[in-house]
Chain A
């Protein structure tokens, strides 16, 4: 028996105004694309904090897709340019941690571009299948945090001069 082919898990952050609708359109238009991506709708690609991406990778995703409106078309004016700058910076940092650039993709898709969105997903899935799983080792859960009901930062003793 051969082992089942590796199927990557991709977390997809899609913006409410364009790419989420593109994904929706791909569905209603019955454009087929692999079911590997779990979509999370955010208001704008500029809302995707690099910590979201790192958390997805640390917690088991093989890749992260961030999709927003085309340059110039962001509903919050310039936030997708910020997403682009974060993405360029994130890729450089991730490379130093041994994470390939193919694993974190930034794509643009307007609400009318269901086919384009599907193509981005197909392409990314193919690349990740070839790369193989990321399988980031689980974080040791800080013993104190595992017990505390309130987050550590809630209990700050401030000392002022």
Chain B
């Protein structure tokens, strides 16, 4: 019998699933090597099918998405129990990613925005209920937790595959490696390894030249004159997350003139992606008195959302104080 493979999504956008399917015909190798036991995005399966398996019966699970609801948490524990190898796949599972930005708000504020905000069509005040008695019986919904947590803040994780989403060639390489390990043709990487990524920063993969120039202003790309095609974007006044971000994407964004926004997470020696970015910005800004510095920094209207666009949930502080207080 072929070893079993599973892929599951928790609090995520679905892009990781698409990214795996996007490796074209190479996905057939996945199907050839594994028995696909559970993969809701690709085929029909029920939670009870997973529950019915023996513990450890799944050889590997790629888990994408952060842990935001009781259902996410339940599935993280269930798949951990059923899988020999659990892989945190993609930025959400590894550092929270865009869903993790909701950690800047309290749960009450999120629900208010979603249910009372302009996008809501509900006539009166409404909030999701975890249980509701209908004529047909009790309907249930999983509860929203106070903050989003990364997969490894909830269960033990064997490997990490970063990226939002991980790059196709990296996914293919990771799957090749997993297949080789499953067949006993290759040794398993050490537990805790980061797979499908570089060992340095995006800057190290970026072809743009750096002159260690100081910048007078920070702006958004649409506010700037046409950019120099060969010069570092940060030195042209654009906030670029390259200095703090793990490589592996071959500097995909700066190569085409868009700043890196940090999707591969913190670089290997970086404790906190946002802190490293603050340092990087502080080093290039050409202003020495508080007032002038503040004027330059006004060009960066949402520092927390910019520095922690992907890494908030796994950062040192993790969330807004009020959101964390609700967790206790």
- A contact residues vs B (CB 8 Å cutoff): 49-51, 53-55, 57-58, 71, 78, 81-82, 84-86, 88-90, 92-93, 96-99, 134, 136-137, 139-140, 142-145, 147-148, 150, 152-153, 155-161
Assuming the contacts A54-B316, A81-B288, A143-B155, asked whether A148 and B191 have C-beta atoms less than 8 A apart, the reply is yes
Q: Using an 8 Å CB-CB cutoff, how does the interface string of B78-99 with A read, 1 for contact, 0 for none?
A: 0000000000000000000000
- Contacting residue for A93 out of B157, B158, B195, B307, CB 8 A: B307
Q: Using an 8 Å CB-CB cutoff, how does the interface string of B303-325 with A read, 1 for contact, 0 for none?
A: 11101000000011111111011
Closest to A59 in B: B316
Assuming the contacts A96-B320, A143-B155, A150-B190, asked whether A71 and B278 have C-beta atoms less than 8 A apart, the reply is no
Show 21 residue pairs from A and B whose CB-CB distance is below 8 angstroms, ordered by the A residue. A50-B275, A54-B275, A55-B272, A58-B316, A58-B317, A86-B279, A89-B281, A89-B282, A93-B304, A93-B307, A97-B317, A99-B317, A137-B324, A140-B153, A142-B150, A143-B156, A148-B192, A153-B268, A155-B190, A155-B193, A159-B173
Give the distance in Å from the alpha carbon of A137 to the alpha carbon of B290 in the complex: 32
Does A152 contact B193, Cβ atoms closer than 8 Å? yes
Give the distance in Å from the alpha carbon of A99 to the alpha carbon of B316 in the complex: 13
Does B104 reach chain A (CB closer than 8 Å)?
yes
Does A57 contact B276, Cβ atoms closer than 8 Å? no
Contacts of A147 in B (CB 8 A): 156, 191
Does B327 contact A137, Cβ atoms closer than 8 Å? yes
- Contacting residue for B194 out of A55, A89, A152, CB 8 A: A152
Assuming the contacts A54-B272, A93-B307, A96-B104, asked whether A86 and B278 have C-beta atoms less than 8 A apart, the reply is yes
Closest to B266 in A: A153
Give the distance in Å from the alpha carbon of A59 to the alpha carbon of B165 in the complex: 32
Closest to A140 in B: B153
- B contact residues vs A (CB 8 Å cutoff): 104, 149-150, 152-158, 160, 169-170, 173-174, 177, 189-199, 248, 250, 268-269, 271-272, 274-276, 278-279, 281-283, 285, 287-288, 290, 293-294, 297, 302-305, 307, 315-322, 324-325, 327-328
Does B303 contact A89, Cβ atoms closer than 8 Å? yes
Give the distance in Å from the alpha carbon of A158 to the alpha carbon of B196 in the complex: 6
Assuming the contacts A144-B192, A159-B170, asked whether A96 and B279 have C-beta atoms less than 8 A apart, the reply is no
Does B287 contact A85, Cβ atoms closer than 8 Å? yes
- Besides the contacts A49-B275, A153-B269, what 9 more A-B pairs have beta carbons closer than 8 Å? A71-B288, A88-B290, A93-B304, A97-B320, A137-B324, A142-B152, A145-B152, A155-B194, A156-B199
B259 → A minimal CB distance (Å): 17
Contacts of B271 in A (CB 8 A): 51, 55
Does B177 contact A157, Cβ atoms closer than 8 Å? yes
Give the distance in Å from the alpha carbon of A153 to the alpha carbon of B275 in the complex: 18
Contacts of B294 in A (CB 8 A): 88
Closest to B296 in A: A85
A86, A97, A136, A158, most chain B CB atoms within 10 A: A97
Contacts of B158 in A (CB 8 A): 144
Assuming the contacts A58-B317, A93-B274, A140-B154, asked whether A157 and B195 have C-beta atoms less than 8 A apart, the reply is yes
Contacts of A145 in B (CB 8 A): 152, 192
Closest to B291 in A: A88
- Contacting residue for B321 out of A98, A139, A152, A160, CB 8 A: A98
- Contacting residue for A85 out of B191, B293, B304, B327, CB 8 A: B293
Assuming the contacts A82-B283, A84-B293, asked whether A153 and B194 have C-beta atoms less than 8 A apart, the reply is yes
Does A155 contact B192, Cβ atoms closer than 8 Å? yes
Contacts of B150 in A (CB 8 A): 142
Contacts of B190 in A (CB 8 A): 150, 155
A58, A98, A156, most chain B CB atoms within 10 A: A156
Give the distance in Å from the alpha carbon of A82 to the alpha carbon of B230 in the complex: 27
Closest to A106 in B: B290
Contacts of B303 in A (CB 8 A): 89, 92-93, 96
- Contacting residue for A84 out of B278, B290, B302, B315, CB 8 A: B290
Does A136 contact B317, Cβ atoms closer than 8 Å? yes
Give the distance in Å from the alpha carbon of A142 to the alpha carbon of B285 in the complex: 35
Does B152 contact A157, Cβ atoms closer than 8 Å? no
